[in-house]
Each structure stands twice: as C-alpha cells, then as structure tokens.
Chains A and B, each alone.
Chain A
Amino acid sequence: MKPQFTHFTSSPLLASKTPLWRSKLVVLVFGIAFAGLGARAAYVQVIHQSFYQRQGEIRFARTLEIPANRGRLLDRGGQMMASNVPALGVWAIPEDINSSLQSHPEKLPALAKLLGLRVPELQQKLAQEDRSFVWLRRQMDASLGSDIQTLNLDGLYTRVESRRQYPEGEAAATITGLVNNDGKGIEGIELAFDQALSGQSGSRRVIKDRMGRVVEDVGDRVVPVDGQDIHLTIDNKIQFFAFQKLKEAVIDQRAKSGSVVILDVQTNEVLAMVNYDAASGKTNPMRNRALADSFEPGSVMKPLTISLALERGIVTPKTTFQTAPGYITVTGSKITDSHVHGVLSVEQIIEKSSNVGTVKIAQQIPYKDMWAFYSLVGLGQKPALPFPGAVGGRLRAYQSWRPVEQATMSYGYGLSVSLFQLAQAYSVLANDGELVAPRLIQSDAPATRERVMSAVHARAVRRMLHLAAGPEGTAPKAQVDGYTVGGKTGTSHKQEGRGYAAKKYRSTFVGMAPIDTPRIVVAVSIDEPSNGKYFGGEVAAPVFSQTVGQTLRLLGIQPDRAVKPQIAIKSVEEST
C-alpha cells in the first residue's frame, strides 16, 4: 500500500513549488561567507601569524625586571656593615588623592603622620596637580605599608623597594659611604665597588590578565645575578672604639673635625679609619677626611727626613748638632725652635722636635734624594686604595725647590699630605724599612712589599720615636699602660689665604706600638682645636694612647711593659 501524503494547507502560495535557484543562492551565500571566514582565519593564523601574535603580546605581555640583591659590606670578622632591607616607596596622583581627601579631610593628618611629614609639607607636594606622579616618601619602613593601605585613599600607591641599612651607624659611615634612593652607590666603598655590589638584574616576559595578575611566563627567564659581598679589612670593634675616642676628643677640644687611621703593620690592612665633624655634630659620610683632606703635616715629617739622612750615611743617631741660639736663617727666612736646646744628638732632635736640628740635617741631603724618598714612602701620590676621592697631596718636583723650601719641607711645611699617607709612611718604619701595599679589601694574595730603607735604620728611628713619646719627649701623653709606644707629634699652623693663620692649628700624632715589634700604626689628626690646647702632644697624643690601648687589647696582644696590677689574684689548685 502506497503511503498517503497529507496536504497541510490548501494555500496556493505554500503549495507552489520553491524554485531551485533560491536554495542554491542561499548555499552560495553561506558558502562564500564561510569561505571568507576560512580565508580570514588562514590570514590571521597562518599568513600573518607573527604580526598578530606580536600585537596580542603588546596588549597583554609585559617584561618584568627581576632585581638583583645588592651585596653586603662585611668587616674582617664577617660582621655586617651594610645590607639591604625591604622598604616602601609611597607615590600619588595629586588630582585623584586631592579629590579623595576633599571628601575625607580627616585622613590628611593621619597620612602626613604615617609619611613622617608635616601637613603643610604634604599639602605642598600634593599641590602639583599638573603632574600625574609625585613621590610622597621613599624608603619608608615596609611595616607601614598596611597602615597606608588602611587609609583607603584613591590615587595613593605604594611600591616595594629596598633600603640600605648600616648597623655601625656614623662610626663607619665614611668608609661604607652610602647609596642613593635608587640603590646606586654615591660615596665610599658603596661607590668604589658599585658594579660588583649591584650584580646584574634579570628579566622575564609574562602575560598579565585584565586584573594585572601574571598568568603565564613567555619565553625564558633571565636569572638575576646577585651582587657580591665585599669583605673589608676593617674591624668593627676597633672602628667603634677609635670613633668614640676621636669624637670625645673633638668635642672636648672644641675642634672643627678629626680623623684616626689604624693600620695592621703585618699586612698593612686598614683596621679602622674614622672621621668626625663637629660642625654638623655627626660624621659626614660624603667625606672621608683621612683620605680626602690634605694638610701641611708639621713635625711628623721629621722622622722621615732623619730616616733618609741615616740611610744615606749623612748622620748616625749619635751625631750632634748645635741648635743654639734656637733659630737658623735660610736664604733670608728665619726658622725657629720653640725652645733653645743647644747641642742635640739626632735622637734628641726627634725627642725635642727641633726644627733647627732637622733643617741642618736636611741641608746635607740632595733635593733629588729627598724628593725620591718622600715619593717612595707614598707622599705626593694617591694611596693604592680603591677609594673615591683619595688625594695624593702635594709634593712639588725637586727641580723647582729652593733652599728654604727644602728646609721647611724637612719639618713638614711646603708640602701637603693626607692622614692616611702619613700612616702609610710610618708603616715603613714599623715594618723594618719595607713599604707594604695598604689594603682596605681582604685578599688572599700576598701583599706586595718594597724595601725603602734598611731594617737597622728603621729600628734606630723607632727608638727615637720611643724617646719622643717618653717622659722627656714632646708627647708623654701618648704612653699606654702595659705597652711600649713610639711616635711623633705635629702641630702645624693652618694656611689661610696667602699666609698662615695665627691661631688656627692642626694637631697630629703618628706612632706605633709595641715599639720593638710593632703591630699597629695609629695616626691621629685634630683640626683647629680651640679649647686652649693645640700642641699635638696635648691634643692628639691622648687619642693615640687610648686608641692603641683598646686596639692592642682587642687584637689580643700581650703587654710588653710591666704594669702594676690593680687586682688581687688568688691561686687555686687545678682540680683533676
């Protein structure tokens, strides 16, 4: 039986047969549309794939810097002298935050307090409405971040950054130096070793979603290389005690500033280098005066002149000179002693610090020899220390010297040196005539040594220095309980304009201890003491004495001089 088809309608319109071309047209239109889509897909994904991928990345991919950690500064015992800690930078969009503060004016004082600013200061920063970015405070304590967010102010943002922390504070500030807000070294060791300390930042390419979250890494990461730690030769305890004694002396003597340098004789490592500025009431980390300030050293130069005379065979320690009537005239210029001493041996010339005696010895030395010796011990040239701003002082070429200049240079006028250079020059005497290259950074490489004078003559000059620091010398206050010391005072007038200031002095003392087998050289300089005393033996020698005592104790050096014990010792039997 054939199936029966039912007519659903009797409408002639529906009953009419659809023309075939219409369905073909629809198929064709759809076909073209799909072909167009297919072609576009092929164009986007195959032909111009890299272009569209790049465009997509531009919109969502970001390159993030992975900062390297800045290296630490460590002292000779591995104690931290500088390290990075997390900090916070707070910035604002003035227009946004101002409108937010208008509706919540009570939040302004709270924000100012958190930022450590006064309200007018903060208002002044926020008044720059033409700018879209203003730093409100940088390198804040990171723990304040949540308090700032609690304020919930529009247009107020924080950024994580790092801050350099110096646990030793001002005691080591002139050595460590400092970094700027961006963590770049701008002074001291921070500047000298900025590249090594900074390391190498890394980077990563990431995709961020619309919330700003990193959702995918693109490509390889460039791993950051952290900065190296720098191991200094400084001993933080010696540094602190030297700073403490210097600060006390500068304040007591109402001086302008002062510096102390302590060298380990065996290695010529710098154990401490401290500076104190009374004007600012603290240490200026931008100026290491021991290295950056040069001055006319005065009588501390005499042992160097006499060392050369001994070395050239011009005198022996017992050779005598007539220093009466207490002055000598050199090409019309009168050079005087503070007292009339009469006949003095070379040893006594140092002990009494006779200018006349020293000039008479120096007059027998050729200019060239004197210049060469001063240069050999490091005067007139920058110390071989990796420290920015270190000066070489002034030592004119011998060809231009005149007799009076040679005479004044022999006792420390007419040339200039830094305190560090003086310490280095005296280290030759302490090292039995060898100049050992100074070090501020620890190294396993053996120190370079150069013989400058014979050991016999170096020891002879040390004996003279011992006399100078003895009861009959110019610096009995340099003596230290339990240890033998030797050194030389210097009291020089300060230059002012074209001449010398009548009442402005620089008091210096450079010496070493224990005197037979020196372990340390200590140089002290006090600038413009104005509390009535100004002689090196009165002002600088006591600082030397206190510093030497503490330093030798900290180094564990047994006393080489008998002391009267102030404690009762009860013998006990050893138990088994």
Chain B
Amino acid sequence: MTFNLRLSAPLRHGLIINLVLIAMVLVTAMLLVRWQYTSRNLFVALEKSEAASRQLAGHHASALAEKRQLTSPARIERLASENLGMRAIAPPVTVYLTQP
C-alpha cells in the first residue's frame, strides 16, 4: 500500500517548522528537567558544605575554649607550683628598674 501525500509548499514549510519547534520544546523541556535536577543536587551539596562550615566553626570555638582553659591562671599557677616549684613573685624578690 502506498500513500501519495501531496502537500502544497507553504503547508510543507509550516509542517517542518512545527516539527522543529516541537523538537525544540521537547529538548528544552528535557534540559529544564535535567538542570533542575542538577540545581537541586548542587543545592544539597551547598547545604552540606554550609553544615560542614558550621561544624568547623563549632570545632574552632571548642578549640579556642580549650586553649583558654589550658592557659587559665588556675591551671598555670597549679602547674608552676606543683611541677616546677615556682612561687608568686613579691617585692623583696623583684628588681624594679627606673626608666631613664
């Protein structure tokens, strides 16, 4: 069986344009879906990075607090007196220099 479809030239051009447009719509629709997917993945990655950044900031705060605790006068005084046998200075064992 054969079909002999004869279309006029303007109709044929219109059909071709429509087909091209349909193809473009399909392609852009698929691209849109793909970009949305990529965008969401990137967003999730960004969220993870931000969470990691917050965690690191937390670690930094903890480290600073720990450092401060390790250098607190109470600890230094205890270590100096117990481990090194040091004592707090007093005027009789201090040399005061006068600025010329």
Task: Mark A residues whose CB is within 8 Å of B.
Answer: 79-80, 83-86, 142, 162, 165, 167-169, 171, 209, 213-217, 236-237, 240-241, 244, 481-483, 549-550, 553, 558-559, 563-567, 569
Q: Can you list 14 residue pairs at the A/B interface with Cβ under 8 Å?
A: A80-B65, A86-B59, A167-B72, A214-B43, A215-B40, A216-B43, A241-B88, A481-B90, A481-B92, A553-B90, A553-B94, A563-B91, A565-B92, A567-B95
CA distance A229 to B78 in the complex (A): 29
Q: Cβ of A237: which chain B residues have Cβ within 8 Å of it?
A: 73
Interface membership of B96, Cβ < 8 A = yes
B64 touches A169 (CB 8 A): no
A86 touches B58 (CB 8 A): yes
B40 touches A216 (CB 8 A): yes
CA distance A83 to B90 in the complex (A): 34
Interface membership of B89, Cβ < 8 A = yes
Within the complex, the shortest CB–CB distance from B24 to chain A, in Å, comes to 23
- Interface code B59-71, partner A: CB below 8 Å = 1, 0 otherwise? 1011011001100
Within the complex, the shortest CB–CB distance from A9 to chain B, in Å, comes to 16
Closest residue to B65 on the A side, CB-wise?
Answer: A165
- Assuming the contacts A85-B65, A142-B62, asked whether A215 and B44 have C-beta atoms less than 8 A apart, the reply is yes
Total of A-B residue pairs, C-beta within 8 Å: 86
Q: Cβ of A550: which chain B residues have Cβ within 8 Å of it?
A: 88
Interface membership of B49, Cβ < 8 A = no
Q: Considering residues B55, B94, B95, which has the most beta carbons from chain A within 10 angstroms of its beta carbon?
A: B94
Q: Cβ of B88: which chain A residues have Cβ within 8 Å of it?
A: 241, 550, 553
Within the complex, the shortest CB–CB distance from A1 to chain B, in Å, comes to 14
Closest residue to A162 on the B side, CB-wise?
Answer: B58
Q: Cβ of B73: which chain A residues have Cβ within 8 Å of it?
A: 171, 236-237, 240-241
A79 touches B68 (CB 8 A): yes
Dominant secondary structure at the B interface: helix
Interface membership of B7, Cβ < 8 A = no
A566 touches B72 (CB 8 A): no
CA distance A564 to B91 in the complex (A): 9
B68 touches A80 (CB 8 A): yes
- Interface code B37-51, partner A: CB below 8 Å = 1, 0 otherwise? 000100110010000
Q: Cβ of B90: which chain A residues have Cβ within 8 Å of it?
A: 481-482, 549, 553
A168 touches B62 (CB 8 A): no
A86 touches B74 (CB 8 A): no
A169 touches B72 (CB 8 A): yes
Task: Mark B residues whose CB is within 8 Å of A.
Answer: 40, 43-44, 47, 55, 58-59, 61-62, 64-65, 68-69, 72-74, 77, 88-96
B72 touches A240 (CB 8 A): yes
A86 touches B91 (CB 8 A): no
CA distance A244 to B74 in the complex (A): 9
CA distance A567 to B92 in the complex (A): 7
Within the complex, the shortest CB–CB distance from B34 to chain A, in Å, comes to 15
Within the complex, the shortest CB–CB distance from A491 to chain B, in Å, comes to 28
Partner of B61, one of A84, A171, A244: A84
CA distance A214 to B73 in the complex (A): 46
Partner of B65, one of A167, A241, A481, A566: A167
CA distance A216 to B41 in the complex (A): 10
CA distance A559 to B91 in the complex (A): 7
CA distance A300 to B55 in the complex (A): 54
B92 touches A80 (CB 8 A): no
B62 touches A85 (CB 8 A): yes
Within the complex, the shortest CB–CB distance from B77 to chain A, in Å, comes to 7
CA distance A567 to B44 in the complex (A): 69
Q: Cβ of B59: which chain A residues have Cβ within 8 Å of it?
A: 86
A214 touches B65 (CB 8 A): no
Q: Cβ of A244: which chain B residues have Cβ within 8 Å of it?
A: 74, 77
CA distance A165 to B93 in the complex (A): 37
CA distance A84 to B59 in the complex (A): 11
CA distance A258 to B36 in the complex (A): 68
Within the complex, the shortest CB–CB distance from A477 to chain B, in Å, comes to 16
Within the complex, the shortest CB–CB distance from A180 to chain B, in Å, comes to 19
CA distance A176 to B35 in the complex (A): 53
Partner of A215, one of B43, B61, B65, B94: B43
Within the complex, the shortest CB–CB distance from B12 to chain A, in Å, comes to 24
A85 touches B58 (CB 8 A): yes
Closest residue to A85 on the B side, CB-wise?
Answer: B62
Q: Cβ of B61: which chain A residues have Cβ within 8 Å of it?
A: 83-86
